Every structure is written in C-alpha cells, then in structure tokens.
Amino acid sequence: MRGQVVAIGLVIVAGVSVYVTMTSVSNTLQRTLNLYYREYAFADAFASVRRAPEPAAERLRRLPGVAELETRVAAIVNLEIEGFTDPVSGRIVSVPEGAQPRMNRLFIREGRLVEPGREAEVVLNETFAEAHRLRPGDELGAVIAGRRRTLTVVGIALSPEFLYQVQPGSLFPDPERFGVLWMGRSALETAYGMAGAFNELAFTLAPGAYGRDVLERVDRVLAPYGGRGAYLRDDQISHSLISEELNQLESMALLLPSIVLGVAAFLLNIVVSRLITQQRDQIGILKAFGYSDSTVALHYLKLVLVVAVSGAAVGTGLGAWMGSAMAELYLEYFHFPYLAYRLDPGVVFAAVALAGGAAVVGAALAARRALKLPPAEAMRPAPPASYRATVLERIGLQRLVDTPTRIVLRNIERQWLKSGLSVLGIAGACAILVMGMFWQDAFDHILHVQFKIAQREDLTVTFTEPTSAAATSELRSLPGVQHAEPFRNFAVRLRNAHRSYDAAIEGLAPDPYLRRVIDSDLNPISIPEGGLVLSKNLADILEVGPGEEIIVEVMEGRRYERNVQVVAIAEQFLGVGAYMALDEANRLAGEGDAVSGTLLMVDPRYEEQLIEALRERPRVASITSRERTMASYTETTAEMLLVFTFVLSLFAGVIALGVIYNSIRITLSERDRELASMRVLGFTRGEVAYVLLGEMAVLVALSIPVGLALGAFLSMLSAASLQTEMYRIPVVLGRGTFALAAAVVLISSVLSALLVRRRLNRLDLIGVLKTRE
C-alpha cells in the first residue's frame, strides 16, 4: 500500500501547500498594505482641478466629513534620459520643501527629500529609478511647462499612492517609460504659474463620514475652478489594481485547494474501502472479541489521519517556503518598503483541519459500511460480486464487444459511483490545467483585440491642452508620418438614474483607420451620429442599452449636463470607453474645433527622429508607443502567468497521477485473483493488462472531455468573478490549451500504467488459486 499512500499523501501535500501559500501570501500582503497605508498616511480620497486658489482649500477643509486635506501641484511631463531613445513621460507631484507631505508620505529608500530653494531637485520613484539605474546625484532632462530643464536626483522613494505607477490612459506599469517624480512645491508653482494655487488635493474622511456625500460637496466647491471630479481610494488606480490582485489571490486560495482536497478525500475513501474489504474477517474477529464499532472505526481513522496530518505537515512546510518566495516576488513587484512574511497559526490550523477533515470524511464513509456487518457475517468471505449485462449489451450491442471488453465495461458499470468519481477526479485535474492556461489564452486574445484590431497607431501624441485641429495637419506633415488622426477626450461623469461612472469621452474621426471601435464580432464599426458608443462593461455598469438616454456631466471647464443617447455598444476588454464622433464630442465639450492629441502611423525608419522632433514641441505633453504598451503589458503579465501555469500544471499532474495510479492499484487489488486466473488459463501479460488498464483507459477517455468542459466552465466562472471595471475577461480557450491539458492527463495515465504494469507482471499465479477472497 506504500505507493498508494504516497500518491494520496502527494495530493494532500499539493492541496495544503496551495492553500497555505496563497492564504499566507494574501494575508501577508493585506497586513503589509494596511500597515503601509497607515504609517505613510495614504489618503482616503483625491481630486483634481484645473486651477484653484489656495483659499478654496480652506473652504474644503471646513466641509463636513473632511478630516485633513492637503493640496499640491502635479503635471505630466516628457522626460529625457541619456542613452534611452523611447519616449518617456513622468508625473511630477509637488511635495513641501524640506518636509514630508502630511498625506501620502514618502518612504526614502536612498538620499533625501527636496530642500528649500533648490528648484532643480527631484526625488524619483524607486521602480522608475531602478529601470534606468538612476541614483542620487544623477541628472535627467524634463520639458516642464514647455521649457527644457535639467533635474538632479536627490532621493529615491516609495509612496503608498504609487504602488502601481501607471500612466494615465494606460493599464499597465511600464517603469522604463513612465515614472513618478516628486519636486518642491514652489518650483512647480513657479513653472506652471500656480503661485498660491493648486491643481490636486488629497484628503482623509472624518470618522463616520459617508464618502460619496463628501465627494459631492468637494465637487461643488471645486466646480467653478474646473474641478475634474473627486474620487475615493477605491477608484484610485494603484489601490484598485492592487486590490484586484489580492482578490484574485484570495479566490484562488479557496477554489484550488477545495478541488484538490476533494480529490484526496475520494482517494482515501476508495483506499480505505478496499482495505476494509480485505480485512473484513479481521474486523469480524475483533468485533467477536468484543471490540466496539467505534474502536474499530478509530483504528481506520488513525490510519488516514496519519496520512492526512503528515501530508498537511509537508504541505504546510512547502507552502510556507513557496509563500515566502512568492511574497518576495510580490515585494519586488509592488515595491513595498517592507514586507514581513508571516505564516499565521490560524492558517496552519486551517490547513491541518482541512486535510484532516477531507481524510476523515473520506474514510468515515468507507468504514460505515463495514461496521454495519454483524461479526459472524464479517468473518465469512464476502459473497461473489453481483454483475449484470451493461446497458450497451441490453440494447443489443453485445456483438460489438469481445469478452475481455465486456469484463471492462461491466466492472465500470457495476461500480458506477466509484467510476464516476474517478472520472470526476481526473477531470478535476484536467480542468485545473485548462483554467490555468485559460489566463494565457484570455490575455493573448485581449492583446490581439486591443492592440491589433482596435488600436493600430504607432504613436499617440497628447497635447498639454485642447488644441486647434490644425495641430493634426501639422503633425501629418512631419517626415515619417504616414497617417495622422485627431482625437479629443474630456472628463465626464455618466449617469443613469442612481448609477454613475467617471470616465472620459473620446471623440474620434468619422471612419477612423487607427483607433477603431469594434463590435462583439470584432468588426470595426463607424461611430454613428447622434450619440455615444459605450464599451460593454461601461454599459453594464450604467445598466443602459442602445436607444436609451443617459446624462453626461461634463467635468472640465464650465460644468454642465446634457442628455445623450447611447447608440451602440462596443467590445472592449481593457478599461472602459465612451466614444463619440469628433465634431459631436467637440460640440458637447463646448470648446469649438479642438483636439486633445493625434494618433500617428509612422514609418519605422523615421520613428526615432520623429520622437525627437515631437519632444521639442512645447505643446506635446506625452508620446506613447503602442509597441511599448503591448510589450509592457506582456512583461507584467507574462512572468506571473508563467509561474502560475507551471505550478498549476505540476499540481494537476500530481492529482491526475494520484487518482489514476490509485484507481488502477485498487482495481488491481480487487481483481488480482481474476487476472491471475486469466493468466493461468493462458492469457498473456498483454491480454491481462488490457482488462486492467482498459478500465482505466475508458475512464480516462471519458474524463478528458468532461475535464475540458469543466475547465471551460471554471474558466468562465473565474473570468466572471475576477472581472472588474479595468478588465473584461473574454472566455477564449485555445486549441493548444485543450491539447496540453489532455496531454498531461494522458502522460499521467501512461506513467501510472507503467508503474502498475510491473506489479501485473509479478502476479502470484499460484497463491490466488489456493485462497478464496
């Protein structure tokens, strides 16, 4: 039984280690995050405005529900780093000279804060500094308010506000091309003409204050100054992305181990059932001697508990090791100032309880049957198993199957529950694999749709503020530009009854060639006149469909509301989108014939030169490259996905092997007599193996389609549960995923078959003839 116990032990180890790893990492991250947020005073809410005078801040501070409030000046700038030719942009945020801000404080990893009177000093966010190997004392160029400046790095820092540093409009961090910098308040005020004014603020909520109400009050105060809408921490991009990551981890921490431990319970059940059948007479004798049912049951429970507890112990150890390694990975990924991995005793306790529980349930079901037998009956050999013709034969197809095949089919049908659970167990392994690889498929699909079908521009040039449409023609005439298309976007709040969402309306050329809006069949649609096209997820959030009207609150400049009809729904997996024809968007924004930026298709030979030329232009706020956005997306997701898929494949392999190997071993043990008899009658080893392995082959053959379907279902479930405003996850499963999942199951089967084949060859032909079962 050693091989079987080891196989079951491994399944338990797999289940417990996934549970311990994910739960402990999730707890550690949550704890670290809370501590970090508290110690570094992460604000509860944020707002941005075009330009508000400092006295307005006083009014805001007096608003009910606002506890503490801090203003600042922030801007997006183009950066130049020596030896790096790609466009780099940065978000410069002001900090008080010589002091920490009161909110969103900086953790200084190296160097110091900005000192008063030193206008060229900046502190860099660590990820950005690392990406370019910048250290205190190094210099970098920046175009600030149209003027080229040389900045000196004085410190490297981390902030709870920029755990994820994501460029506005992008969804993925790209530390080489986008970074956060902190600069002295007065230097920024001077550069942007913001003396005695601010354009951003952060605040905390008074205890018991209702966030949404406070936001509304803040918005009302800021409206005359070009308020762009206040938002809570939950909508802050870094925080929402990190929360999403934690949610994913948490849901995986529950789903995966449940499947794995369920399989372990089933395996223990079949092994204990078999053991009890074999020891039937011994149970009878013990009971005849006066041992109680519970004493006998305890004996078997002890046995499975030894397996479960040892499995849980090894799994916990492995989980703690993997957990600390994974925490290390997260520490690097998120750039926490510190991360103390801790394995809570509660997690260990839960792991042991889960494994033990699964084992006890599995064994108890098996033992119950044996204990019901009166001693005298238990001591007699079990009656021969009853069989009957299978459904296949009863409907008259018996001619199709030869005698050995009938043995196979009847055995499967007689133990339909066990067969069914085996199929389910193997299918579970297969499904876990499909689910693991589904993410890769989904991300590939998102990438394809977003960056091959919808977005085809090479460069996106954003202007510092809405500019005359002539700017696009101007860019079109630059050398290397093959095609140029204007776009106009502005912040809005979309409302439908009590539902509202802060988004940006993007005005696009009538029949865009570069930035296209696509329908659910992935065909580009031209934007109809007379209304808005909403991305599917935005339409879902607002609960509107085509033909219905929503209220658009324009959040820039003079604020006002308009009723606008939703005319179509667009497919979009990344982010939310609201699209309109360019001229209509301009009419809605009320600023005449303006563009916010231009999309360019570029001859690659001229790209570098073109970027250089664009950077020179004072009105160009940022230049982003589609190629780079795609690459950064792939980089950020690929590594995590690879680790994830690898771990899952390993576990799925263990489960498949555990179930298949155990099932064959049990079948061999149940039928060794029958198989040995066949060998005696002159059947060859191969012919006997057919009867044994044929049964498994049928189960495996059944389990693969079930597993693939189950995997698709679980993928759908996890896609739905992890869907956020940021992502809509398409359920796309590649043929390669199915093929690989099936291959892992088949390889596990072949491996199990080879392991058992040796035993089959050593069948004791004489022994079985002298005994009765």
Separation of alpha carbons 141 and 79, rounded Å: 6
Shortest separation between residue 677's beta carbon and another protein, angstroms = 4
Is 411 an interacting residue with respect to another protein (CB under 8 A)? Answer: yes
Give Dmax (Cα) for the chain: 102
Answer whether 652's CB lies under 8 Å from 436's CB: yes
For 194-224, the DSSP string reads -TTEEEEEEEEEPTT--HHHHHHHHHHHHGG
Collapsing DSSP to helix, strand or coil, 165 comes out as coil
Which amino acid type is present at position 413?
E
Q: How many residues does the chain have?
A: 773
Is 384 an interacting residue with respect to another protein (CB under 8 A)? Answer: yes
Separation of alpha carbons 179 and 161, rounded Å: 13
Shortest separation between residue 420's beta carbon and another protein, angstroms = 18
Shortest separation between residue 693's beta carbon and another protein, angstroms = 16
From 387, 513, 560, 646, residue interacting with another protein (rule: CB under 8 A): 387
Q: Cβ closer to another protein: 387 or 513?
A: 387
Is 701 an interacting residue with respect to another protein (CB under 8 A)? Answer: no
Is 770 an interacting residue with respect to another protein (CB under 8 A)? Answer: yes
Is 683 an interacting residue with respect to another protein (CB under 8 A)? Answer: yes
For tokens 């990344």, the residue is 574
Q: Cβ closer to another protein: 150 or 398?
A: 398
From 147, 498, 762, 772, residue interacting with another protein (rule: CB under 8 A): 772
Count of Cβ atoms closer than 10 Å to residue 353 Cβ: 12
Residues 389-408 interacting with another protein (rule: CB under 8 A): 402-404, 406-407
Q: Which stretch binds another protein (CB under 8 A): 103-111, 141-149, 197-205, 762-770?
A: 762-770
Is 281 an interacting residue with respect to another protein (CB under 8 A)? Answer: no
Shortest separation between residue 768's beta carbon and another protein, angstroms = 7
Q: Cβ closer to another protein: 321 or 387?
A: 387
Phi and psi at 289, nearest 5°, equal -75, -10
Q: Cβ closer to another protein: 403 or 563?
A: 403
Q: Cβ closer to another protein: 309 or 373?
A: 373
Answer whether 115's CB lies under 8 Å from 121's CB: yes
Collapsing DSSP to helix, strand or coil, 384 comes out as coil
For tokens 């002295």, the residue is 184
From 484, 654, 678, 733, residue interacting with another protein (rule: CB under 8 A): 678
For tokens 């969103």, the residue is 104
From 395, 400, 417, 681, residue interacting with another protein (rule: CB under 8 A): 681
Q: Cβ closer to another protein: 245 or 670?
A: 670
Is 513 an interacting residue with respect to another protein (CB under 8 A)? Answer: no
Is 386 an interacting residue with respect to another protein (CB under 8 A)? Answer: yes
Shortest separation between residue 699's beta carbon and another protein, angstroms = 16
Is 768 an interacting residue with respect to another protein (CB under 8 A)? Answer: yes
How many helices and strands, by DSSP H and E, does the chain display? 21, 22
For the sheet containing 45-53, what is the strand order? 66-72, 197-205, 45-53, 227-232
Shortest separation between residue 761's beta carbon and another protein, angstroms = 9
Looking at 723-734, list the stretches that DSSP marks H as alpha helix, in order from N- to C-terminal side.
none
Separation of alpha carbons 319 and 315, rounded Å: 6
Count of Cβ atoms closer than 10 Å to residue 368 Cβ: 12
Considering only CA atoms, give the Rg of the chain: 33
Q: Which stretch binds another protein (CB under 8 A): 159-167, 468-476, 681-689, 743-751?
A: 681-689
From 274, 410, 515, 559, residue interacting with another protein (rule: CB under 8 A): 410
From 67, 391, 638, 769, residue interacting with another protein (rule: CB under 8 A): 769
Residues 586-625 interacting with another protein (rule: CB under 8 A): none
Separation of alpha carbons 214 and 220, rounded Å: 10
Shortest separation between residue 3's beta carbon and another protein, angstroms = 23
Is 583 an interacting residue with respect to another protein (CB under 8 A)? Answer: no
Q: Which stretch binds another protein (CB under 8 A): 369-377, 381-389, 524-532, 542-550?
A: 381-389
Is 767 an interacting residue with respect to another protein (CB under 8 A)? Answer: no
Q: Cβ closer to another protein: 243 or 677?
A: 677
Q: Cβ closer to another protein: 210 or 387?
A: 387
Which DSSP letter does residue 329 get? H
Which DSSP letter does residue 684 get? -
Q: Cβ closer to another protein: 402 or 603?
A: 402
From 383, 416, 498, 604, residue interacting with another protein (rule: CB under 8 A): 383
Is 83 an interacting residue with respect to another protein (CB under 8 A)? Answer: no
Shortest separation between residue 688's beta carbon and another protein, angstroms = 10
Q: How far is CA 511 from CA 126, 389, 536, in A?
A: 42, 68, 20
From 31, 673, 757, 759, residue interacting with another protein (rule: CB under 8 A): 673
Separation of alpha carbons 706 and 430, rounded Å: 9
Separation of alpha carbons 328 and 540, rounded Å: 37
Shortest separation between residue 545's beta carbon and another protein, angstroms = 60
From 391, 680, 743, 747, residue interacting with another protein (rule: CB under 8 A): 680
Separation of alpha carbons 390 and 395, rounded Å: 9
Separation of alpha carbons 162 and 239, rounded Å: 8
Count of Cβ atoms closer than 10 Å to residue 417 Cβ: 8
Is 679 an interacting residue with respect to another protein (CB under 8 A)? Answer: yes
Shortest separation between residue 406's beta carbon and another protein, angstroms = 7
Separation of alpha carbons 734 and 645, rounded Å: 15
Nearest to 409 by CA among 425, 421, 424, 394: 394
Shortest separation between residue 380's beta carbon and another protein, angstroms = 13
Separation of alpha carbons 702 and 706, rounded Å: 7
Separation of alpha carbons 151 and 617, rounded Å: 19
Q: How many residues bind another protein (CB under 8 A)?
A: 32
Q: Which stretch binds another protein (CB under 8 A): 24-32, 185-193, 380-388, 572-580?
A: 380-388
Separation of alpha carbons 70 and 426, rounded Å: 58
Is 757 an interacting residue with respect to another protein (CB under 8 A)? Answer: no
- Which residues sit at the interface with another protein, rule CB under 8 A? 383-388, 402-404, 406-407, 410-411, 414, 673-674, 677-685, 765-766, 768-772
